[in-house]
Structure 1
Amino acid sequence: MPLLDPDAPWPLLPSLIGLVVAGVVIVLTGIRMTAVADEIADRTGMGEAIAGAVLLGATTSLPGLVTVAVGGLSGDAQFAFANPVGGILIQTVWLAVADLYYRRVNLEHAAASSQNLMQALVLLGLLAVPLIGFALPDLAVFSVHPATVAIPVLYAGGLVLVRRLHEHPMWKPVVTDETVEDEPQEGSGASGRRLGVSFALLAVSMAVAGYVVGRAGLGVVDATGASGGLVGSTLTTAVSSLPELVTLIAAVRMRALALGVGDIIGGNVFDALQIAVADVFYREGPIYADAGASGLLLLAAGLLMSALLAAGLLLRGRRGIGFEGVAIPVVWVGAIVGVGFL
């Protein structure tokens, strides 16, 4: 049976059903995960921005991580590369959506955090590294490009910088009457061990849903003849990125704004790390040689959108949707239209 054969593509109908079911699981899991992560942040004193970047950012990216691994093993370079980069694009758009939901003031103003700004700068650096792979696509050691090795090293270094900034801040954003500061909230009373186990089980649910998304996305590619880059940057990333949207909206409702914004930016940084995962699991050679023009276009859009986000976090406009809230969706639409024409 195709559904049980790990090498056979799924038929179209089971693929579409799988995407819907995985999306529901991801949404329900993300809602619960936000509350657990917020309580862990308060218990440990790590702060909402770091909890959003490390706990939520990494675990809500698990569906995308598994999808990338499945795509790489299948040999579809465009699909494998488009999922992490496309995830960065659509997750950044989620911030503009949350800006509409949080009507009091510009979200980047209210969620002012030096750690989130540092995360955005780390993301820009990580997205620049794959450009080396596109410029020198034939470099490889055991089918892995040297740029791929640099990505996790820079990722680890970025986390160290964010942690250092949290412990020894050299500057802080100006606090206004619309700034929502990170303050511990009353917890559920659950033990630390129980919170940890709950979070781990939720993470497993995310990973299983990611496997379904990956197989279903490849099934759609096979059944429709659409390019892996287009499906990977739209359909599967829309489903696998639902945790970020759900946790962001949940965090905004809880007024844990730094946690929500940190989840998006931290998730984007983790998605940049997934580019290395895509290259490792793609065994035909360096993935940059086969990701095509669509991969390069998505990467350029990711750099531009991340720069707009960093500028929004720095300037902190107060009234409603800032310039970044308008420009980011425009860039995303342009990128997807461009991929469609390639």
Structure 2
Amino acid sequence: MFAQLSLPILLLIFAASAGVIWIAGVKLADTTDVLAARLHLGKALGGIVVLAIATNLPEIAITVSAAASGNIGVAVGNILGGIAIQTVVLVFMDMAMKERKPLTYRAASLSLVIEAVLVVAVLIVAIMATQLPGDLIAFRVTPGALAIAGLWLVGIWLSGRASRSLPWHDSAGDAPDTQEEPKGHSQGKKDKAAGHSARVFWVFGAAALATLIAGVLLERSGDAIADHIGLSGVLFGATVLAAATSLPELSTGITSVRMKDYQLAISDIFGGNAFLPVLFLLAVVVSGEAVLPSAQASDIYLAGLGVLLTCVYAAGLIFRPKRLFWRMGADSLAVLVLYAVGVAGLFAIATHG
């Protein structure tokens, strides 16, 4: 149906869907924070799983839609491209800082470094899984996708332990001169301003439904747009589509920064990035195909780019740069340059591949 529509109509559908994801995604993230506070889910393993699923509904909708329609390249590109571009979201959060110090300086914490290591770990396993035989699949499940999901669960358990206590001089693993209030204090403030619980549940449900529907429309219209303009599904999924689904993270992250909950702002990005490769398991179940062994060179390249950008911010959290360059820290500037160079390389791969 979408392939028969004209390009202007497709662009309108895509823009409208992105707008819905922006608005509904922000409401979803806010109500998720409130529900986490009221149901005491924040530090529980099951709660983290629920929160990860809720805050990644646009990516889940796109993955299911793409896998069901056989567009594996779009699904893989959106997952791996989403990690890279959501890491770049931290650049804009850094620029939104009201203080004259970079984001990583004020958020520096060992627990955040552990979360960054988890992102790197799941991406490395995803890269390793691309080299497994394509026929290594049973009951619509592949060992690579299962390994990623298992590693993610172990990783968030370790992250939860790290956020409670570490065997360091500061048991929370926080550096000196970081944020004054504890991580997650903005969730409590949102809770107080949210009103009755019944209303919060209704808003959460409506936002989740709107996000799912908009995510499917975004993927279908985006795939048709890519065909119209001659852009590969991998490139479109890794750039335009991934950018559209990152809009809620951008808005909620800037809100957290302005509420001086710097650690939560970074944790939300790392947490979402660590969860995204778990969607490969969902893509395998829906499509019935071994998704990762069919990955292209551009997919592996994107995974490497995600690892590189995450490592830059992990180093920033450890070394805590103080100088600002054009309202951003040295780590954010490096990430912005590396991402630009990385996207140029991605186009070179797609053009000459």
Kindly provide the CA deviation profile for residues 123-154 of structure 1, in whole angstroms up to 9, marking residues without a partner as x: 11110111222222434214643101111111
Q: Which residue in the other structure is 2:114 paired with?
A: 118
- Separation in structure 2 between the aligned mates of residue 211 and residue 270 of structure 1, nearest angstrom: 19
2:19 is equivalent to residue 14 of structure 1: no
Q: CA deviation at 1:297?
A: 0.7
Q: CA deviation at 1:204?
A: 2.2
Q: CA deviation at 1:180?
A: 5.1
Segments of 4+ moved more than 6 angstroms: 48-53
Out of 247, 254, 267, the residue aligned to residue 262 of structure 1 is 267
2:175 is equivalent to residue 174 of structure 1: yes
Contact 2:280 2:292 in 1 (8 A): no
Q: Which residue in the other structure is 1:330 paired with?
A: 337
| Paired-residue identity, % | 29
Q: Which residue in the other structure is 1:141 paired with?
A: 137
Q: CA deviation at 1:235?
A: 1.1
Compute the TM-score of the two structures, normalised by the length of structure 2: 0.85
Give the counterpart letter for 2:27 in structure 1: R
Q: Which residue in the other structure is 1:247 paired with?
A: 252
Aligned pair in 2 of structure 1 residues 177, 97: CA closer, same or farther (>3 Å)? closer
Out of 75, 78, 85, the residue aligned to residue 80 of structure 1 is 75
Give the counterpart letter for 2:249 in structure 1: E
Kindly provide the CA deviation profile for residues 234-268 of structure 1, in whole angstroms up to 9, marking residues without a partner as x: 11111111111111112222323222222211111
Aligned pair in 2 of structure 1 residues 56, 10: CA closer, same or farther (>3 Å)? farther
Out of 28, 31, 50, the residue aligned to residue 36 of structure 1 is 31
Give the counterpart letter for 2:165 in structure 1: H
Contact 2:41 2:47 in 1 (8 A): no
Out of 225, 231, 235, the residue aligned to residue 236 of structure 2 is 231
Contact 1:251 1:257 in 2 (8 A): yes
Contact 1:94 1:245 in 2 (8 A): yes
Q: Which residue in the other structure is 2:153 paired with?
A: 156
2:162 is equivalent to residue 165 of structure 1: yes
**Bigger Cα displacement from structure 2, 318-327 vs 180-189:** 180-189
Contact 1:30 1:246 in 2 (8 A): no
**Bigger Cα displacement from structure 2, 8-17 vs 293-302:** 8-17
**Count of aligned pairs:** 336
- Separation in structure 1 between the aligned mates of residue 321 and residue 150 of structure 2, nearest angstrom: 34
Q: Which residue in the other structure is 1:71 paired with?
A: 66
Q: CA deviation at 1:177?
A: 6.3
Q: SS in structure 2 opposite 1:129? A: helix
- Separation in structure 2 between the aligned mates of residue 51 and residue 119 of structure 1, nearest angstrom: 17
- Separation in structure 2 between the aligned mates of residue 189 and residue 31 of structure 1, nearest angstrom: 14
Q: Which residue in the other structure is 1:299 paired with?
A: 303
**Bigger Cα displacement from structure 2, 21-30 vs 273-282:** 273-282
- Separation in structure 2 between the aligned mates of residue 76 and residue 189 of structure 1, nearest angstrom: 40
In the TM superposition, 1:81-120 aligns within 5 A as 81-104=76-99, 105-120=101-116
Contact 1:10 1:216 in 2 (8 A): no
Q: CA deviation at 1:20?
A: 0.7
Q: Which runs of 5+ in 1 are unaligned?
A: none
Q: CA deviation at 1:301?
A: 0.6
- Separation in structure 2 between the aligned mates of residue 121 and residue 92 of structure 1, nearest angstrom: 14
Q: Which residue in the other structure is 2:318 paired with?
A: 314
Kindly provide the CA deviation profile for residues 218-240 of structure 1, in whole angstroms up to 9, marking residues without a partner as x: 11122222111111111111111
Give the counterpart letter for 1:336 in structure 2: V
Q: CA deviation at 1:117?
A: 2.5
Contact 2:45 2:157 in 1 (8 A): no
Give the counterpart letter for 2:62 in structure 1: T
Give the counterpart letter for 1:138 in structure 2: G
Kindly provide the CA deviation profile for residues 299-335 of structure 1, in whole angstroms up to 9, marking residues without a partner as x: 1111111111222222222333333201212222222
- Separation in structure 2 between the aligned mates of residue 49 and residue 302 of structure 1, nearest angstrom: 27
**Bigger Cα displacement from structure 2, 40-49 vs 108-117:** 40-49
